[in-house]
Amino acid sequence: MTLLATALALACALIFAVSTSVQHQAAESAPASASGPFGLVRYLLRRPSWLVGQLLALLGFAVHAAALHYGPIALVQPIVISGIVFAVPVRAAISRRLPSRPEIQAVALTALGLAVFLVASDPTPGERAGLGVGPVTLTVLGVAIAVAAGLAARLGHRPRRTAFFLGVASGVLFGLVAGLLKMALQELADGGVVRLLTVWPTWALVVVGGAGVLGNQLAYRADRLSASMPVLNIVDGLVALAFGYIIFAEVPRHTPAYLGVEIVALCCVAVGLWLLARVEDEERIPELPRLRVRD
């Protein structure tokens, strides 16, 4: 089961990497007239490339669900959030060029950090989660943090600050999505579709997931990818790991030595993601005027 969950998580990461690249390109090229959440959504709905990105995201969501069905959040989510490393060979293949040295170094650092973290943490399989006070409290707390980050983004007058806080908000929501999705899958397995449609995690998943997607698009629009993507993925992973630990009792190795290794490995993943975003920003800068004029 663990091997299958790992394979599905890797497939999900690849799909999300392609989907994210397509969505970001569409969102960053939106004209100034497409202001506010609803204006941006109306514009994006008329962009075929963005719609393709959404279809890929739905496919990735289905694969993500399958991975969570067969494996613990603590195994699946760190693999999923590192999916941006797959964007490097994809972009290189499309443009018919070899990846640059900074790209290769960033990918190597991220992949190494992820591999070390997964080996060091080796979480327990966990147990079935109930629908009581624990998950409700954690979900409400996560939503409150996301709302606070969203308000901080609105109060900020600098694009980079706005994108950062939108990335924090989206990361919290996407981390909750992983936990809520796993809970919903448990209810589906126990009672079928009828049970699935009558429990709160299903509807919380719809609302939280939709808010996360919208916040993500606004972050893409606000500033360069490096302002929001690294913090989004790290917060996503930390919230998902907390959900797995608190709600599903997925306990990682936690001796001082192993905890030290896990923290260093996560820091390597964070730095690698930031370096990858920086490289992508540098590649996109010459393209921005051309993209905006065409729109």
The span from the CA of 235 to the CA of 139, in Å, is 15
Instruction: Yes or no: say if 209 and 153 are a contact pair by the CB < 8 Å rule.
Output: no
* Phi, psi for residue 178 in degrees, rounded to 5: -60, -45
* pLDDT of res. 290: 36
292 or 205: which leads in pLDDT: 205
Inter-CA distances, 94 with 22, 98, 104, 295, Å: 13, 10, 17, 22
Predicted confidence (pLDDT) at residue 108 exceeds the cutoff of 50 = yes
Inter-CA distances, 83 with 3, 257, 295, Å: 18, 28, 29
What is the residue-averaged pLDDT of the chain?
A: 81
Predicted confidence (pLDDT) at residue 24 exceeds the cutoff of 60 = yes
Mean pLDDT across the stretch 161-170?
Answer: 90
- The residues, any chain, with a CB within 8 Å of residue 17's CB and separated by 6 or more, are 83, 84, 85, 86, 87, 90
Mean pLDDT across the stretch 202-223?
Answer: 87
Mean pLDDT across the stretch 189-209?
Answer: 92
Mean pLDDT across the stretch 37-57?
Answer: 77
> pLDDT category, 291, cuts 50, 70, 90?
very low
pLDDT in tens, 229-277: 778 888 888 899 899 989 998 888 888 898 899 899 888 888 887 787 7
Cα 141–chain centre separation: 19
- Which residue in this structure is represented by tokens 């569409």? 26
Predicted confidence (pLDDT) at residue 49 exceeds the cutoff of 90 = no
